[in-house]
Structure 1
């Protein structure tokens, strides 16, 4: 049986006698991956303020946590695509899980030595594993079923990424954050033994959560190894000359999708990376309370995914993307110029409206690429490097404005304007001459 999906690809799908393909269990397994990499990304929002304390960093240095993870996406996107072509989706997923687990376990020696550089290495390795997983799972979820529902299917799977956005801050507040914060002046006045003990305790707090995460990843990899998944390798029934890696960008809508994805990921990471600091500075919260509000942000993000998936039954995906981008721009302005608890409400609402952006941009960018879907997917995953670059720029802007967190949110505001352009104009597919 051959299935041609919305992306234009034909794929061989195994069928049982007299029956169509059953995708339920494979889709559930793939969906679990969205939750796991969501945990990794959303724990970074806890790590940034936490390691800023534990390793005595400024804002710009703390954003190297994001840089380490998302730089891996850029560097590993092409190798990840090659791995998929070489060993298939299932084995690529297993490799990605094991690489992800390796990075998680490296948090133990990093915490023991209190070496920020080793934390960054561990996070880079985690990012490599995530790249392989996302390059495999996103297109696999898109083609695992009827072609006309690929965008809705991606959003449904990505809803569990939103569930992780709620769970990770709660886990972080319970097991990582101590609630103890000291000013530079207080740290300088503290006896050396007490100061060293405090810093060691802060660093050690990350060990248990990441040991548990690494163990779960290994167990899931074992489950994938023994589980049968439908083969979704392209069926070469048509003769088609594939363009080179850069030539595929002649598809105008893909080029714009790559740009939009770069700025979307940068915006999302900017919003969450400084959420706790924003709550502390703008609303006068302590870090534990701020972390719970970050969890509520995750609830809105998850709700946005499910509600957005429902809306996509009745509203064109590019229309909904445009509406959400416009509302996010307005809310970002509120976060910049507002005061008190309203700033946090605005950031939470941004989480709701950002929820459908990544999978929708991904699906729109791959429309009509046919046998070039894997190459297009690699480009869209490489665009995640926006999460490495833009938060660093935001941290620099905040430091330049004397630790004024609100001023930094100008960067995600500009990002949402670019996404709005993609939703209104850049997504349009022009047929090749």
Structure 2
């Protein structure tokens, strides 16, 4: 576990009550982007039917959405350095509203690639929001409780993921109506645009604790440092890539998986509602993880969860009916603590590089763009069921990172010796 935050590590100003209020407010952002991201799992089968797409073509939804993380994250990290966390949050919310608004003309035009552009703009806003909010929550208190704090915030994110598919099933699939039209997405995304703008307006008037950069005397040494010198961070970015890719891949094809005759023969409407169980399991797991990381080393919890995810995927691939369905849904429980645990371990000890380190980690979310495409290709070549082996391989790397890749490297140890900070 990490010890108290040293002078060279970003810290938050304000009283304990101010920091608690800020944490509560920040969780609303985690809810918003979780809610919107989960809608993709409903949007993919809807657009696949509306435009008669292959699995690979439908996978472009996640490619454009999560591809924005890779493109925008480096710029977002530098933007936050210039304007600060609060303004970065407001800019991110405005970007979300803009992307959601483009869904209306995209549906009127009935052009698939305009939908993809809207998703890219929407995800760009979420990227800026994540680069702002994740490190803010990490440093909004003691370093030793950073993983627990981020797990709790991500639990609220999972609540958004859980409710999002229900919202999408009701408004996009219209309660099970057989006719699939592009116009069905207009109302839900206009509602989301309004919520994002209203939230941005609220944040403009909030007074949040300011994150300070630490000791100015360390400025020259930090300027000579680079995020690429911190192997635990770099390996962590790859772990984020694998985790998000695996999580999104599983969620993206659940509707089609449950529609298979040898699995559950469900309609798109009924299968869409089942996605909430996947994200609901992550919600429960993150609350449990927030408690466990107070007592158990985060890397041990991460290793156990990644191995269990592999086991349950293999059981699902080798089964039929309810067993295949419930075991793949249970993977959400083991996904639960992965993002906040990897993020908090990888970003420890970066000091003034925290914003850029956060940008690199968020850039790793591009895994959500690439692995679903690979799984879609495997599904086209084999079957939807066999395609779930793709995320299983991703969890193997996460197991390695938990046990070996997350160990402190020379750059981390040097920073720890200088500041007196404990490393994980």
* TM-score normalised over the length of structure 1: 0.90
* Structure 2: distance between partners of 1:26 and 1:416: 33
Contact 2:145 2:294 in 1 (8 A): no
Gaps of 5+ in 1: 182-197
Q: Does 1:131 align with 2:108?
A: no
Corresponding position of 1:102: 98
Corresponding position of 1:253: 232
Deviation at 1:4, TM superposition (A): 5.7
Relative to structure 1, the CA distance from residue 222 to residue 274 in structure 2 (aligned partners, 3 Å threshold; closer, same or farther) is same
Corresponding position of 1:385: 366
What value does the CA root-mean-square deviation take over the aligned residues? 1.8
* Structure 2: distance between partners of 1:238 and 1:108: 52
Deviation at 1:316, TM superposition (A): 0.8
* Structure 2: distance between partners of 1:82 and 1:223: 24
Corresponding position of 1:410: 389
Match for 1:242 among 201, 222, 225? 222
Match for 2:52 among 52, 56, 59? 56
Q: Does 1:274 align with 2:242?
A: no
* Structure 2: distance between partners of 1:222 and 1:392: 37
Corresponding position of 2:40: 44
Corresponding position of 1:361: 342
Q: Does 1:423 align with 2:395?
A: no
Deviation at 1:7, TM superposition (A): 11
Q: Does 1:121 align with 2:117?
A: yes
Q: Does 1:345 align with 2:326?
A: yes
Match for 1:228 among 201, 207, 224? 207
Relative to structure 1, the CA distance from residue 406 to residue 6 in structure 2 (aligned partners, 3 Å threshold; closer, same or farther) is farther
Contact 2:12 2:140 in 1 (8 A): no
Contact 1:6 1:150 in 2 (8 A): no
Deviation at 1:236, TM superposition (A): 3.8
Corresponding position of 1:187: none
Deviation at 1:40, TM superposition (A): 1.2
Q: Does 1:159 align with 2:155?
A: yes
SS at structure 2 position matched to 1:228: coil
4+ long deviations beyond 4 Å: none
Matches within 5 A, 1:185-200: 198=179
Contact 1:6 1:148 in 2 (8 A): no
Relative to structure 1, the CA distance from residue 275 to residue 12 in structure 2 (aligned partners, 3 Å threshold; closer, same or farther) is closer
* Structure 2: distance between partners of 1:83 and 1:328: 36
* Structure 2: distance between partners of 1:110 and 1:383: 28
Contact 1:335 1:343 in 2 (8 A): yes
* TM-score normalised over the length of structure 2: 0.92
* Structure 1: distance between partners of 2:300 and 2:306: 10
Contact 1:163 1:302 in 2 (8 A): yes
Relative to structure 1, the CA distance from residue 53 to residue 12 in structure 2 (aligned partners, 3 Å threshold; closer, same or farther) is closer
Match for 1:32 among 28, 31, 44? 28
Q: Does 1:209 align with 2:205?
A: no
Contact 1:90 1:224 in 2 (8 A): yes
Gaps of 5+ in 2: 415-424
Corresponding position of 1:265: 244
Q: How many residues align?
A: 406
